[in-house]
C-alpha cells in the first residue's frame, strides 16, 4: 500500500531532528512558553499530566553549563551550541508512591507536541536520551518520583556551521522510516498486507 505524504499534516512531515543552531541567538520567552503550552494540551491517562520540564537558557549560564555537562560526549559535540536545553521528566509515582504506569507514554505525547510546536515556529531541535540521568537528578534537586528522560536542544537554524562533515551531511539527508506494511497488521497479528 502506498500513501501520499502530503495527506498528513505538513507540521508532522516537516518535523526533523537537527544538530545545528545559531549559538548566540536567544529564544524569546513568549516562544519558549508556547512550546510548553503545546505540551500542556497532550492527552494523558486519567488526565494526570505527568510531564515535568526544566528549562535552561543563556540567562542562567551556570545552570545551562551544568545541564550541558550531563550530556554524553557525542551529544555535547553539537548540543553545546544550542542556546536552550529542555530537560523533560515524568512523574512516575504520586506523593504516596503509587506508580503511574502511563507516565513515560504520556511524557512522549507531550514531548511530540512540544517538538512540533518548536518546528512550527521554525526553530531547530533535537531530542536526546544520551545523558547522565542520575547526575541531572542530583544537580537539579529532582525528587525521587520524577524521572529525567530526555533533553531537547533548541535554537534557531544556521545555514553554515563548522560542525564535522558527517553531521552536516546528516542534516540534509532525507528522513527514513520503515514501510507501513511491515508494522501495521490487519485483523490479526501476522497479516501485514493492508491491500488484501
Q: Look at residue 87 and give its three-state secondary structure.
A: strand
Q: Is 130 in the site for ligand FMN (CB under 6 A)?
A: yes
**Edge-to-edge strand order for the sheet containing 124-128?**
51-56, 84-91, 146-155, 124-128
Helix (H) or strand (E) holding 146: strand 146-155
Q: Is 90 exposed, middle or buried (0-12, 13-18, 19+ CB in 10 A)?
A: buried
List 83, 127, 148, 155, residue binding ligand FMN (CB under 6 A) = 127
- Residues 94, 144: contact at Cβ < 8 Å? no
Taking each helix axis as running N to C, give the angle between helix 29-40 and helix 103-120, from 0 to 180 degrees, rounded to the nearest 10: 140
- Based on CB atoms, which residue is closest to ligand FMN, 10 or 60? 10
List 43, 61, 99, 129, residue binding ligand FMN (CB under 6 A) = 129
- Based on CB atoms, which residue is closest to ligand FMN, 127 or 155? 127
Instruction: Tell me the closest approach of the beta carbon of residue 151 to ligand FMN, in angstroms.
Output: 8
List 3, 46, 175, 189, residue binding ligand FMN (CB under 6 A) = 175
Convert residues 133-162 into a mask of x (bound to ligand FMN by CB under 6 A) and - (unbound): -----------------x------------
Convert residues 60-99 into a mask of x (bound to ligand FMN by CB under 6 A) and - (unbound): ---------------x------------------------
* DSSP structural state of residue 71: B
Helix (H) or strand (E) holding 116: helix 103-120
Sign of CA dihedral 117, 153, 64, 142: positive
CA distances from 109 to 40, 112, 126, 193 (A): 10, 5, 16, 28
- Based on CB atoms, which residue is closest to ligand FMN, 13 or 41? 13
Nearest-CB residue for ligand FMN: 130
- Based on CB atoms, which residue is closest to ligand FMN, 23 or 72? 72
**10-49: contacts with ligand FMN (CB under 6 A):** 16-17
List 110, 128, 154, 156, residue binding ligand FMN (CB under 6 A) = 128
**Where do contacts with ligand FMN occur on this chain (CB under 6 A)?**
16-17, 75, 126-130, 150, 175
Amino acid at each position: 500500500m502506498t500513501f501520499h505524504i502530503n495527506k498528513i499534516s505538513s507540521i508532522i512531515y516537516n518535523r526533523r531532528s537537527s544538530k545545528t543552531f545559531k549559538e548566540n541567538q536567544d529564544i524569546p520567552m513568549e516562544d519558549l512558553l508556547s512550546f510548553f503550552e503545546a505540551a500542556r494540551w497532550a492527552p494523558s491517562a486519567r488526565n494526570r499530566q505527568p510531564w515535568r520540564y526544566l528549562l535552561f537558557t543563556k540567562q542562567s549560564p551556570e545552570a545551562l553549563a551544568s545541564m550541558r555537562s550531563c550530556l554524553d560526549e557525542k551529544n555535547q559535540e553539537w548540543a553545546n551550541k544550542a542556546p536552550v536545553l529542555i530537560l523533560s521528566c515524568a512523574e512516575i509515582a504520586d506523593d504516596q508512591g503509587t506508580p503511574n504506569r502511563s507516565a513515560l507514554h504520556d511524557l512522549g505525547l507531550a514531548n511530540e507536541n512540544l517538538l512540533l510546536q518548536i518546528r512550527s515556529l521554525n526553530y531547530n531541535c533535537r531530542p536526546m536520551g544520551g545523558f547522565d540521568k542520575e547526575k541531572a537528578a542530583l544537580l537539579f534537586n529532582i525528587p525521587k518520583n520524577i524521572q529525567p528522560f530526555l533533553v531537547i536542544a533548541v535554537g534557531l537554524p544556521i545555514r553554515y556551521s563548522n560542525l564535522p562533515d558527517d553531521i552536516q551531511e546528516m542534516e540534509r539527508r532525507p528522513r527514513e522510516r520503515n514501510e507501513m506494511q511491515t508494522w501495521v497488521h490487519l485483523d490479526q497479528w501476522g497479516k501485514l498486507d493492508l491491500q488484501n
